[in-house]
Amino acid sequence: MGEDYKYVLRYLPLYRAAVTDDWEAAKAIFDRDPDALTTRITYWSETTLHIAVATNCSHRFVENLVNRIAAVDKTKLRTPDYTTYNSLHYAAKVGNTRAATVLVENDPEMASIVDQCGHTPVKLAAWFGRKETLVYLLGVTPDVIGEAGTSPYSGTTGGDLITLTITAGFYDVALNLIERYPSLATEKDRNGITALQTLASRPGAFPSGRSWWFWQFFIYNCTPSVLDFNPEVEKKPTSPNKRGKRSGRAGWWWFRFVQSACFNFYLLLWSAVEYLVPVMRDIRESKLIHRQTSLLTKALVATVLTVDDHGVVWDVLGTAMSTAAQHGIHELIEECLGRYPGLIWYRIEGIYLFLASIKYRQVKVFNLVYQMTGHVVFATPNTIGEDNALHLAGRRASPHRLSTVTGAALQMQRELQWFKEVEKFVEPSFKEALNGEKKTPRMVFTDEHLDLVEKGEKWMKDTASSSTVVAALIVTVAFTAIFTAPGGNKDDGTPYFLRDSTFMLFAISDALALFASVTSVLMFLSMLTSRYAEEDFLYALPKRITIGLVSLFISIAAIMVTFCAAMVLVLRKELAWIAAPVGLVACVPVTFFVMLQFPLLVELVMSTYGPSIFHKQNDLVLH
């Protein structure tokens, strides 16, 4: 073996020159050994050109080497390695657009050459997420039948290209591809997946796949998108005479100039703000992606509907809608149903759309119920083993859907909310109907959620126990503080600072801390002695823990005010300056505790008292 690979050692200087962009050293070697230009120098049968292109930094080296090889025989640029990749394949994989440009300029046919697996350079660029190189290669790869026996933009090869482009997140490039080659909308890749189905598996690319805080949502709505204004699009005014037309056109161009200037200033202002607050750039980029996916979805659905084959249309849109239902992408489903209402009867793993939304616990898909006529919502044939809609709601959600809610207790509450909501829509006879297991929906719910009830009980009791300790400690401190007033008492028992406004703050905050902490203790004790029935998780238990936590936070804040007021009263004459820093330091551990527990409190309040997760999302009528 060592004898066979002696050339690897012999060409190590050439390898180092290619990696370090040392053209002078390589040129000296080529002058002595002209065959070294295209000979293989590594174990993987790579040439010097392969190595230099793969570095994506030896640009001067690549340009000189390509020119020298092309001057001798440009077909040598196509020399493959062990895996049949040529240098343009390498450029596509690593995103070396400069090398790709030089190679194609010297040998345009390289863009159509495939490896042993039928991969073209443009497909590899999409596969490895090299957007700049992908855009370039799309412009130089012709729509002709190549070595693979098909065009790069049709058949399985075209299906691979469009799905890989979408998978890489290049939605604007995918939209351009669909506009140039509409047949790609129905082509399937090697795994039998279409472009629309690939898009339906990417919830993060749609607004429904992101959860925003209110301030993030506000920024999202205010953030400009480059698609909001396109100065290239011109709608020319019409007028009855040439003079009027000329005058109208001048006015129109002046209006467009002012509009463009204002928008550019707006973008400039946002760029400055984004530089100072990077999170705003992330939000704007998310909005841009959402706009691109919206346009791509509309283009794909519209293109598919132009196909004169109902079987193809039914399959492409139906499978995409099925995937979207599993991932909760209601935007794509709305687009499909809005253009082809009959897709409501497409079966998703044996059931229709809205039963699938119950099975997968996708609330945003389920909410489309409120935009549809009643006769298509829960059709009686929609069954799995004779389960009706309420039986499906009684089945326990999959772990990854349950994990979207914090804690077993709130997960149980969410399951109850689903069951109660579906119960509003089903026929009265469904509520007591027996399935194949001879169980009613309520029996199914109870059997499926026994373990979750136990976990919810343990979670509630653990939370109550730990919080009771803190609340009881505050009760003790607050009760003691009022009888040991700062500064001491007079002979008649009245505090020295009784008439001081700071003392009044001390007394009021101490009383508030006492009452709030006692309330918190009582709430948590009631949780420890609760019966923990299924229905209690819907409202009763969340209400108690919410009141307990709110009272605990109030007592914590009040006791800190009490402490700070006492510090001011005791130290203000001689060490007044130390009161403020000591008070701030004392607040640090308390603040940490509140920060850790506050997100739970917010989720409890929103889940129990906030707007229902089930609601009409927009005014679009789907059927």
Mark whether 334 and 311 lie in a shared domain.
yes
Three-state secondary structure readout of 345-385? HCCECCECHHHHHHHCCCHHHHHHHHHCCHHHCCCCCCCEC
Mark whether 51 and 176 lie in a shared domain.
no
181 in helix, strand or coil?
Answer: coil
Residues in the chain: 623
Mark whether 167 and 302 lie in a shared domain.
yes
Residue 61: both structure tokens together: 């080296």
Q: Tell me which of 318, 352, 386 is where a domain ends.
A: 352
Are residues 171 and 293 in contact, defined by beta-carbon separation less than 8 angstroms? yes
Are residues 523 and 547 in contact, defined by beta-carbon separation less than 8 angstroms? yes
Cα–Cα distance for residue pair 163/168, rounded to 1 Å: 9
Backbone φ, ψ for residue 47 (5° rounding): -90, 175
Q: Tell me which of 90, 116, 150 is where a domain ends.
A: 150
**Residue 141 domain flag:** yes
Mean pLDDT by 10 residues, the chain (623 residues): 72 94 93 91 92 93 94 92 94 96 94 91 96 96 76 92 96 95 95 96 90 76 59 40 51 72 76 77 86 95 94 94 93 93 83 87 90 59 67 93 91 95 87 89 94 94 91 90 65 58 82 94 93 92 93 89 80 66 76 80 89 85 72
Cα–Cα distance for residue pair 357/367, rounded to 1 Å: 9
Question: Domain of 602?
Answer: 461-609
**Residue 489 domain flag:** yes
Mark whether 143 and 165 lie in a shared domain.
no
Mark whether 162 and 140 lie in a shared domain.
no
Cα–Cα distance for residue pair 103/49, rounded to 1 Å: 10
CB hemisphere CA count around 487 (13 angstroms)? 21
Q: How many CB atoms lie within 10 A of CB 150?
A: 16
Query: Which residues touch 416 (CB under 8 Å, ≥6 apart)?
Result: 534, 535, 537, 538
Residue 611: both structure tokens together: 């707007």
415 in helix, strand or coil?
Answer: helix
Classify burial at 84, counting beta carbons within 10 Å of its beta carbon; exposed 0-12, middle 13-18, buried 19 or more: middle
Are residues 44 and 81 in contact, defined by beta-carbon separation less than 8 angstroms? yes
Mark whether 216 and 126 lie in a shared domain.
no
Q: Which residue has the tokens 């040998």?
A: 107
The structure's pTM equals 0.83
Query: Which residues touch 361 (CB under 8 Å, ≥6 apart)?
Result: 397, 398, 401, 418
Mark whether 83 and 198 lie in a shared domain.
no
Q: State how far Cα 175 lies from the chain centre.
A: 20
**Residue 363 domain flag:** no
Cα–Cα distance for residue pair 423/417, rounded to 1 Å: 10
**Residue 243 domain flag:** no
**Residue 428 domain flag:** no
Mark whether 108 and 124 lie in a shared domain.
yes
**Residue 425 domain flag:** no
Backbone φ, ψ for residue 386 (5° rounding): 70, 15
Mark whether 174 and 122 lie in a shared domain.
no
**Residue 427 domain flag:** no
Cite the DSSP H helix spans in 168-224: 171-180, 195-200, 214-222
Mark whether 209 and 342 lie in a shared domain.
yes
Q: Tell me which of 126, 150, 174 is where a domain ends.
A: 150
Q: Which residue has the tokens 């506000």?
A: 218
Are residues 368 and 330 in contact, defined by beta-carbon separation less than 8 angstroms? yes
**Residue 474 domain flag:** yes
**Amino acid identity, residue 33?**
D
Compute the chain's Rg from CA coordinates.
35
- Domains: count for the chain: 3
Q: Does the CA dihedral 319-323-326-331 come out positive or negative?
A: negative
Helices (H) and strands (E) counted in the chain, each on its own, are 27, 0
Cite the DSSP H helix spans in 183-309: 195-200, 214-222, 242-276, 278-304
Cα–Cα distance for residue pair 178/302, rounded to 1 Å: 11
For the chain, the first-to-last Cα distance in angstroms comes to 72
Mark whether 468 and 529 lie in a shared domain.
yes
Residue 153: both structure tokens together: 């933009």
Cite the DSSP H helix spans in 47-182: 48-55, 59-73, 87-94, 97-106, 121-127, 131-140, 155-167, 171-180
Cα–Cα distance for residue pair 325/358, rounded to 1 Å: 10
What CATH number is given to the structural domain containing 49?
1.25.40.20
pLDDT for 309: 92
Q: How many CB atoms lie within 10 A of CB 525?
A: 16
Mark whether 69 and 199 lie in a shared domain.
no
